[in-house]
Structure 1
Amino acid sequence: MDDCRPLGFLIGLPFAVLALALSLVGAVVWILGTILSCLCPCCICFSGLANLAVGLIKAPVNVIRWFVRQIPC
């Protein structure tokens, strides 16, 4: 993060907390999707579900970066 944009971090913090909750849900979905894809490798939808869950896990970092980029220096 840039040193001249602390306000973007503070404004984005509540949204990052919400995204953190989503990432915890994503972690559970990822674990279940991985287990199911190992049990039945013919079902491609479980691997897609695991990839979606990885996106949810990365959400808090993406939200904070987006808010920081929105604040002009």
Structure 2
Amino acid sequence: MGDCKPLGFLIGLPFAFVALFLSLVGGIIWILGTVLSCLCPCCFCCGGLAKMAVSLMKLPIKVIQWFIEKIPC
């Protein structure tokens, strides 16, 4: 991301807003997974659930970066 590509940013912006809502869902899942792992530490599925939730929370940034990379200039 060394050079500025405003067209890629503008094209990716609506998709980033959709990803933002998914990241909010990921945050809720992460909080629930954390609470479940505190209540029952033997639940191994909560670790995978938390990892998926963190990747959902990083999704808006990944979407914007992907669009910026795809625009040549």
- Asked if TM exceeds 0.5, the reply is yes
TM-score range, shorter chain: over 0.9
TM-score by length of 2: 0.95
Distance in 2 separating the partners of 1:34 and 1:58: 18
* Counterpart code for 1:52: M
Instruction: Show the 5 A alignment for 1:10-25.
Output: 10-25=10-25
Distance in 1 separating the partners of 2:50 and 2:33: 5
Runs of 4+ in 1 over 6 A off after TM superposition: none
* Counterpart code for 2:60: P
Q: Which runs of 5+ in 1 are unaligned?
A: none
1:67 maps to what in 2? Answer: 67
1:39 maps to what in 2? Answer: 39
1:54 maps to what in 2? Answer: 54
TM-score by length of 1: 0.95
Q: CA deviation at 1:47?
A: 1.2
Distance in 2 separating the partners of 1:38 and 1:55: 21
Root mean square deviation of aligned Cα: 0.7
* Counterpart code for 1:66: W
